[in-house]
Copies of this chain bind each other. A is one copy, B any other.
Amino acid sequence: MQKKPLQCQFVAALDSIVGKWKPIILYHLLQGKPLRFNELRRLLPGITQRMLTLHLRELEEEELVNRVIYPQIPPKVEYSITEYGMSLSPVLEALHQWGAAHVERKQLKKETNEQKETD
């Protein structure tokens, strides 16, 4: 029992989280407010409809995201974070913070290099 103790946990976690847009989708939904398909699309400039659909389906399958269809015309579909999805909050928060620091660090380094060049 308990084989592949380490990497599988990572792999399992990352499979659910990773994808070019998944963390950002989750981050937005973790704000609490359910979002419609096109609302999400506007929040993710550059994403195609196809990619958004695919990623949302995967997140739904992982039970991280709820999908509720309102039988209206024009259609209305709302996506929201599930209770289980909320358990990702600390992970994404940590990631987000580190990302911010990382960007800042890179920026600083770039500026330092530009300084050197003008010397």
Contacts and interface: CB of A to CB of B under 8 A. Distances in A.
Interface of A: 6-14, 16-18, 20, 23-24, 27-28, 44, 84, 87-88, 90-91, 94-96, 98-103, 105-106
Of the listed residues A16, A95, A105, the one surrounded by the most CB atoms of chain B closer than 10 A to its CB is: A95
Provide the main secondary structure of the chain A interface: helix
A90 to B, nearest CB: 5
A96 B10 contact: yes
A13 B87 contact: no
Q: Oligomeric state, in number of copies?
A: 2
Contact of A90 (B10, B87, B94, B99): B94
Contact of A88 (B6, B96, B98): B98
A63 to B, nearest CB: 9
Contact of A10 (B27, B84, B106): B27
A91 B101 contact: no
A10 B103 CA distance: 9
